[in-house]
Chain A
C-alpha cells in the first residue's frame, strides 16, 4: 500500500493508525476512512493522504511529514518505508517490524520501544529511545540506526537496545541507561553516560568523561570485533579496519549508581 501526503497539516497530525497491521488488512476505500487527529479534530486519512494499492506488503508513506506524529506507533510486525521528513513519536512503543526513513525525524523517536528496528538516513531530534518524563525506564529492546546526527538524551533510561549513530550525538547520551549498547561514530556531547547502571557506550572520538567514572585500562575487546562486523554488514557506516582492530580506553561508571556501565573510547 502507498500513502502520499497531498495536504500539509497546519497543526500537528497524530496518525498512529498508519501501521502495516492496520493498513494491510484493509482495502484502499476503507483506509481512506481511517481516523487520524488533526490537532483536536478527528479527520479521515483521505483528507491528507492519497492512497494507492500497489499490491505490496510494504507500506510506503511519502511527503513532508515533519508535523505528523506517531507514525508506526505500537507496530508489531511488517515494514514501513518513509520518504521525507517525519515528526515526533515515530515507532512509539513498537515491539516488532521495520521502519526505514529516508529523511530526518523529529524528537521522541521510539519511546518505550521493546523490539523491531528503525533505520533513519538523516538526522534525528532530541530524546531518541528516551524514557517518557517521570518514567525511569525507556526502551526495552530493538535496534535503532541513525546515519546522521542526534540531539540530547539519546537512549535515556534504555535497556537491551542497540543504537548505532553515524554522526554526532548531543549531551547526556545514554543517561541513566540500564543496559544495551550505543555506538557513536561522530562526536558525543558532554555528560555521556551520566547515571548509567550497566551497558556499553562506544565512542570513536575522545569525549569529556564525567568525574564519577573511573579509568580501568586500555585493551582490545574481542566482542567489539564481532559488533563492528555486525554493524558493517547491516549499515552503510564506514568502519575502518584500524578502528575494528584498535585499542579502547575502558572507563567504569557511573559511581553514583552501580558503577557497572562501561565507556569504551577509541585510542587513536
Chain B
C-alpha cells in the first residue's frame, strides 16, 4: 500500500499483522510490523518489547557478497562445493549453532553430519544443556505457556532475569495476563523470584528471595526433603542465606497453591552443579505433585533454540552433543559438545550455523577454531567475528524478517513466521539443502555406509 510521509513523499508501505519476533524464546506472535518496501526496512514494530524493537528496526540488508572463500567473493555453488569437500575430508568435523534459524533448515543438519561422520551440537550446550541432561535423568514436569496464563496461581522465577531477557514474559504469559482461572491477573497470583542479586525482575515479585551465591542446589534439596516430611534445618540461614521461617513459608505456599510453575534460567544451569541444579529443580516440581499440580520449564534464550533441541531429538534421539563418527548417534555432553571438543583441539573442521563462537567461546576454543588445524565454515545472516575468520563464509537471509518457516516457542509449541520483506541473500534452508545434497553425493562416492539413510 502507498502512503504519504510527513514531507509528502509517497512511501510504498506494507503492514504485516501477527508477525513473530524471533529474538528470544518467547516468540511473541502478535507483533504488527510496518515496512518501508522501498528502503527495505521495518519502520514500526507495534507491541514488540525493547528487544523485539531492536531486532526488527535495526535490520538492514547489508551490502556484501553472498559467499566468500578466504575473503574473496565466489558463487554460492563454489562455496557449497568447498564446504562439502572440507566436511568430507575431515576426520572429526563438528556442526554448531542452529538456534537462530528455522526448523526446516535445522532438519538438514543431522543428515549432513551423519553423512560426513561428524558431531552435531546446538547452542543449548552453552545455555540450557544441563537442563537437557536433567530431563533424561529425572524427567520433565511440563506444560504450555497457555496453561500458565490460564491456571497458574503460583509463579516462580529461579536464576533468571526475564524483565530484561524476556520482557513480555510477564505480560503475555505468567504474571499480569487475565486467564480463565486467574481472572484478576496478578492479583490472583503469587510471584516469587529466587536469585543471588536484586535485578529488575525482582521489582515484580511478591516475594524476593536473595540466595547465597552457589547455594541453589542446597535450597532445592531442602525443599525436596520437606516434600518427604523432613523439617527445614535450623541453620538454614547459614546454609543458603534465607531464614528457616522464610523457607518454611515458601514451601507452604508451593504446597498449597492450585497450579504452580517454576521458570528457571542460566543462573541455575550454569552455576556450580549445573545439571544437578536443573535436575533438583525438576525433581522438586515432580515431588510437589504429591500435593498439587506443579510444573517447571527452562526460560530459553535464542528465538529457536527450543526448535533445535526438538529437531535434533526427533532425528537422533538426543537434543545436542550428538556424535556420528561410528555411524550411529552417541550422546555425551562434555565429550561431544563443541566448547569441549574445540578446547581439547579435537575438531578438524567446524560448520557454524547462525552462531558466533569466535566472539563468545573460551579462549582455548577460539584459538583452535581459528587455527589452521580446524577449517571453519560459517553460515550466518550478519558479519560476525566467526564469519570474518571463516575459510568459507556464506551470508543468508534473516529468519522471521526475510524468510518464513517454523520456530518452537520456549514451551515447545511450534509457531509459523510471517516475513516482512525479501532479501537478496538465500535462506538458511536453501543453503543447507544444497550442502546436504552435495555432502550426500560425496558420501556415496566415498562408499560411506550410512550415506543412504533416510531422514524425516
Residues in chain A within 8 A of chain B (CB atoms): 10-12, 14, 37-41, 67, 88, 107-108, 126-127, 132-134, 136, 171-172, 175, 190-191, 194, 210-212, 255-256
Contacts and interface: CB of A to CB of B under 8 A. Distances in A.
B194 to A, nearest CB: 17
Nearest to A153: B276
Interface string B89-102: 01110000000000
B348 A133 contact: no
B273 interface: yes
A107 B335 contact: yes
B192 interface: no
Contact of B273 (A14, A126, A171, A212): A171
B325 A39 contact: yes
Nearest to B221: A212
B225 A11 contact: no
Contacts of B334: 107, 126-127
Given A11-B346, A133-B137, A211-B218, A255 B236 contact: no
B136 interface: yes
Interface in B93-145: 116-118, 133, 136-137
Interface of B: 90-92, 116-118, 133, 136-137, 217-218, 221-222, 224-225, 228, 230, 233, 235-236, 239, 272-273, 276, 324-326, 331-335, 344, 346-348, 373
The 9 lowest CB-CB distance pairs between A and B, nearest first, are: A40-B117, A39-B91, A134-B136, A11-B92, A39-B92, A40-B325, A212-B225, A11-B91, A211-B233
Nearest to B136: A134
A171 B346 contact: no
A265 B184 CA distance: 54
B91 A191 contact: no
Q: Which of B118, B225, B233 gathers the greatest number of chain A CB atoms within 10 Å?
A: B225
Given A40-B91, A41-B91, A175 B276 contact: yes
24 contacts: A11-B91, A11-B346, A11-B348, A37-B325, A37-B326, A39-B91, A39-B92, A40-B91, A40-B324, A67-B344, A67-B346, A88-B335, A108-B332, A133-B133, A133-B136, A133-B331, A134-B137, A175-B276, A190-B272, A191-B276, A211-B221, A212-B225, A255-B230, A256-B221
A133 B136 CA distance: 7
B224 A10 contact: no
A172 B133 contact: no
B276 A12 contact: no
A191 B217 contact: yes
Contacts, number: 84
A210 B224 CA distance: 13
A189 to B, nearest CB: 9
A62 B276 CA distance: 37
**Among A39, A107, A212, residue most surrounded by chain B Cβ atoms (within 10 Å):** A39
A37 B335 CA distance: 16
A126 B239 CA distance: 26
Given A12-B92, A126-B334, A133-B332, A211 B273 contact: no
A107 B341 CA distance: 13
Contacts of A194: 217, 221, 276
Contact of B230 (A41, A136, A171, A212): A212
A133 B210 CA distance: 32
